[in-house]
Amino acid sequence: MEADLSGFNIDAPRWDQCTFLGRVKHFFNITDPRTVFASEQELDWAKAVVEKSRMGLVPPGTQMEQLLYAKKLYDSAFHPDTGEKMNVIGRMSFQVPGGMLITGFMLQFYR
């Protein structure tokens, strides 16, 4: 049974951004390091799904989980202002492992 996605707004936040817990959930969703390993085809699919959803053309058979995953990939890999795909180092999903790597090197080579 398909869910009715006619009123789904892909740009609306998934969690209430007026609460601390909602902002934390949003942050952890965007910075999920597993999305660093998404292939170029997955990222292109996510961009196409998000753009179609913004126009109100959700493909038939699309489930809510697929839309939310596409939004997660899109938000973590594409620039919010220009919509261009960022390199891996500049993505939100690389901030946590990249920061850990830099901090590890700083601690390792400290005198």
* Token pair in block for residue 106: 């700083």
Nearest to 77 by CA among 100, 98, 63, 95: 95
What confidence tens digit (pLDDT) does each residue in 68-85 have? 999 999 988 888 888 888
Nearest to 83 by CA among 30, 43, 32: 43
The answer to whether the beta carbons of residues 30 and 75 sit under 8 Å apart is: yes
Average pLDDT over residues 14-25: 93
Nearest to 98 by CA among 86, 109, 106, 89: 89
Please report, for the chain, the start and end positions of each structural domain, with discontinuous segments joined by +.
20-108
Specify the pLDDT at position 1.
Answer: 42
Neighbouring-strand partners of residue 85: 78
Residue 23 has pLDDT above 60, yes or no: yes
pTM comes to 0.77
Specify the pLDDT at position 21.
Answer: 95
Specify the pLDDT at position 61.
Answer: 80
